[in-house]
Amino acid sequence: MRPIALARLLQLSSQALPIGGYSHSQGLEAAIEREIVRDESSLLRWIADVLAFSMSSFEIPCLLSMAAAWARSDAAGAAALNDEYLSSRESAEMRAATVQMGFSLRALLCVLPDLAAGSADALCSIREPSLPCVWSAAAAAWQIEPREAVMGYLWAWAENQVLVAAKAVPLGQSAGQRVLLAVGAKLADLAAQSDAGEMGASEIGAGEAGAGAMAGTSSESNFCPGLAILSSQHETQYSRLFRS
């Protein structure tokens, strides 16, 4: 990987990126409220399930398809894929979260000096940009390879999940780092699958988040009813720290 591409990927993946990711738990806070996630082992199981039944089976294939569209300067294709991704969000909170972060990342990219004007104009033409859509545009513009782009995207998501658990379980810092160490190996496997074009519901885990999910089906399957239900319940949760 070229050093400049690595630097750009680290910037995109950083928790310091000002896109509001810290304000979203992506359904985890509701799982903590219901004591599905209550300690280190249950957090690792939760992350593994969401990776298996949502991220690797749908969100990452969508991100890769969008990146390919941006790489061939197909803004209309990227916009159509963005609409398809947004239609897959099962709750109002999940949809609002990805659009809010997408808007914020787009606004940031448009004021950075090294994003090509054509890429910025194409992004601005999308009415409701999702986070994967804008992330993939940045990755394509900065010539970040698909495997590395997937690794960075998944790492940013997993790290945020651990930070949410640290605040809401609460979970100690050492426990959080052990979870990230274990998750890192899984993310590397998923990134390798993306490089080989084999993304799909993998045999990572099968617990609360993926209850009823069909592992090993189509590479673009987003059937994760446990997560959808918890996200919907979070909309009316009485006491909460996070927006989703």
Q: What domains sit in the chain, N to C, each tagged with a CATH number?
A: 22-233 (1.10.4190.10)
* Between residues 221 and 45, the one the model is more confident about: 45
Q: What is the pLDDT of residue 193?
A: 77
pLDDT mean over 61-72: 94
pTM of the model: 0.89
pLDDT mean over 217-224: 67
Q: What is the 3-state secondary structure (H, E, C) of the chain?
A: CCHHHHHHHHHHHCCCCCCCHHHCCCCHHHHHHCCCCCCHHHHHHHHHHHHHHHHHHHHHHHHHHHHHHHHCCCHHHHHHHHHHHHHCCCCHHHHHHHHHHHHHHHHHHHHCCCCCHHHHHHHHCCCCCCHHHHHHHHHHHCCCCHHHHHHHHHHHHHHHHHHHHHHHCCCCHHHHHHHHHHHHHHHHHHHHHHHHCCCCCCCCCCCCCCCCCCCCCCCCCCCCHHHHHHHHHHCCCCCCCCCC
Chain mean pLDDT for the chain: 87
pLDDT mean over 65-94: 95
* Between residues 121 and 36, the one the model is more confident about: 36
